[in-house]
Amino acid sequence: MSHPVTQALGCVLSISPTMQAVVAFLKTWWVELVCGVVIVAAVPLVAGYVVLVERKLMADMQARLGPMRVGPHGLLQPIADAVKLLIKEDIIPRDADAFIFWFAPVISMVAALTSMGAIYFGPAFRVAQDINIGILFVIGVSSLGFLGIILGGWASNSHYSIMGALRSTAQLVSYETAGGLAIISALLLSGSLKIRAIVDAQSDQHVWFLFLAPVAFFTYLVASIAETNRAPFDLPEAESELVAGYMTEYSGFRWALYFLGEYANMIVVASVATTLFLGGWLRPFSNVRWLDIPMGVLPALLIAALGVYCIYRAGKQPVKVQLGFMWVVALCCFGVAVIYLVPWLVAPLRFAIPGLNGAFWFLFKVAVYIYVFMWLRFTLPRYRFDQLMHLGWYILIPLAIVNIFSVGIAMFLSLELGWNRWLAVMLTTAFTLAVSLLLVRLHDKHASAASSTSAVPSDSYAG
């Protein structure tokens, strides 16, 4: 009665070349696959906690406490939110274009996650390793997220949604241009599109590109805020005007997808800025050799200090659960600190030091960048649509173009004519700033002229 068994075996054997191919595939690509799974699995969680941090920061700046109910200090709030969103009814409006409505949030999310694939979170972590077009891939693919926004807004069949979608598209197109032009300055300096080469260039030139192209960095900062639809450029979802913009008709899980896409996008733009302008995973003063050991131990010390602070705060917790939780957090911090310290003590593990420290510095810089986003959000009012377009087209884009020119001149002066690099940079930056002042002056004049005849209709979408 072994007949069926042998048949099955034969089946397996007959597909064995396929199996072998799969095995070979896995053998070659397992690091990438694992890192990819980590991205897909971790980003929602990280995004949830970024939201919590944002709410806590906002509460702190607004003289209140923020989420406090779910878990100690609201630490379980993201999980509660996620569960709530998951079990919420999935409503598709009757007159909506069901398929596109269903599909659009997925596009947003997938675009953001895919673009993360090409980012280096530290020298050891990678998915698409050192592809030829590195940074361009990140930017290009993440810009596909707008498709989800515009299609979702259109498919909802609601006026608020479609206006949000139209605003969003016009804004993304305008500011991606500015952001892309700003990036070109950094690419000029590094001479490569590969992410590793860009960071290595900053290491070789002993300077972060932030200092060689400050104007480009600030242009990119503004453009990236606009690209991620964050305040003061959050017009597509301006809750006081358009209720929730393109997300108005979404609820539950689909809404969560949009939300995750947005926060993942924030991480993406922050990573791009970190890579291009803030030295990627290089620590501060990465070329000063005698700082190797102090700066190398610093991450561990910082994490340990966080743990100590948690213990200090634990005594002040009113509830026992919170006290216990603070201790748990403190112990976690100490655990991570030990992991960071072990390679220093155990010689065979020394190879892990650059990877660990690189990841720390990279994530640290990304966090600082995102903190700036949040800070601006709590401080500034929102732009109006025409003002947004003016800022983009009349100031940022010309400024970015002039800046490319200036960076080129600075490179020519220092590399070909042998000038002092800092002198060249200062001269050209001064030139760019003078141009920007001129632009602002022109813009103001234009604005005052426009406001005197403010009733004249103009096509605000056309920019």
Q: How far apart are CA 242 and CA 234, in angstroms?
A: 11
| Residue 66 zone, left/alpha/beta (φ > 0; ψ -120 to 50; rest) | left
The least distance separating other proteins from the CB of residue 429, rounded to whole angstroms, comes to 22
Among 76, 106, 387, 431, binds other proteins (CB under 8 A): 387
Q: Is 166 in the site for other proteins (CB under 8 A)?
A: yes
Yes or no: say if 369 and 274 are a contact pair by the CB < 8 Å rule: yes
As measured in angstroms, the least distance from the Cβ of 241 to other proteins is 5
Give the C-alpha distances (Å, rounded to integers) separating 81 from 51, 54, 88, 113, 145: 10, 14, 11, 21, 23
449 binds other proteins (CB under 8 A): no
98 touches other proteins (CB under 8 A) = no
Among 161, 169, 224, 428, binds other proteins (CB under 8 A): 169
To other proteins, the closest distance from the beta carbon of 173 in angstroms equals: 6
316 binds other proteins (CB under 8 A): no
Q: Supply the minimum distance, in Å, between the C-beta of residue 50 and other proteins.
A: 17
To the nearest whole angstrom, how small is the minimum distance from the Cβ of residue 80 to other proteins?
A: 23
- 154 touches other proteins (CB under 8 A): yes
State which of residues 159, 206, 350, 445 lies at the interface with other proteins (CB under 8 A): 159
Query: DSSP for 150-177?
Result: HHHHHHTT-HHHHHHHHHHHHHHHHHHH
285 contacts 211 by C-beta, under 8 angstroms: no
User: Counting contacts by CB under 8 A, is residue 76 touching other proteins?
Assistant: no
Using rule CB under 8 A, residue 336 touches other proteins: no
CA distance 178 to 389: 11
- The yes or no reply on residue 261 touching other proteins (CB under 8 A) is no
Kindly identify the residues of this chain, within the stretch 230-249, that bind other proteins according to CB under 8 A. 231-232, 234-235, 238-243
DSSP notation for 79-147: HHHHHHHHHS-----TTS-HHHHHHHHHHHHHHHHHHHTT--SSTT--SSTT-TTHHHHHHHHHTTHHH
Say which residue the tokens 């606009």 belong to. 226
CA dist 52 and 80 (Å) reads 11
Supply the Cα-derived Rg of the chain in whole angstroms: 25
Query: Which lies closer to other proteins via its Cβ, residue 82 or residue 193?
Result: 193
Q: Kindly state the tokens that stand for 233.
A: 């450029």
Q: Do residues 334 and 328 lie in contact, with contact meaning Cβ atoms separated by under 8 Å?
A: no
Examine residue 94 and tell whether it contacts other proteins (CB under 8 A): no
Q: What is the DSSP letter of 380?
A: -
Stretch that binds other proteins, among 4-12, 119-127, 278-286, 444-452 (CB under 8 A): 444-452
What does the block give as tokens for 431? 């030139």
> Residues 349, 355, 359, 362: is their CA dihedral positive or negative?
positive
Interaction of residue 132 with other proteins, rule CB under 8 A:
yes
Q: Which of 80, 82, 131, 433 binds other proteins (CB under 8 A)?
A: 131
Q: How far is the CB of 421 from other proteins (least distance, A)?
A: 25
| Angle ∠(219,240,155) on CA atoms, nearest 5 | 85
Contacts of other proteins in 3-62 (CB under 8 A): 21, 25, 58, 61-62
Shortest distance (Å) from residue 254 CB to other proteins: 17
How far apart are the C-alpha atoms of 50 and 263, rounded to whole Å? 8
Q: Which stretch binds other proteins (CB under 8 A): 181-189, 207-215, 341-349, 373-381?
A: 373-381
Residue 109 is a binding residue for other proteins (CB under 8 A): no
C-beta neighbour count of 2 within 10 angstroms = 7
Among 383, 402, 404, 406, binds other proteins (CB under 8 A): 383
Report the nearest approach of other proteins to the CB of residue 140 (Å). 4
Positive or negative torsion for Cα 162, 168, 169, 171: positive
Q: In the set 113, 283, 385, 421, which binds other proteins (CB under 8 A)?
A: 385
Question: Is 443 within 8 Å of 395 (Cβ atoms)?
Answer: yes
Q: Decide: is 447 part of the binding site for other proteins (CB under 8 A).
A: yes
Q: Which residues bind other proteins (CB under 8 A)?
A: 21, 25, 58, 61-64, 100, 131-133, 136-137, 139-141, 143-144, 146-147, 150-151, 154, 159-160, 162-163, 165-167, 169-170, 173, 176, 193, 231-232, 234-235, 238-243, 377-387, 447, 451-452, 454-457, 459-462
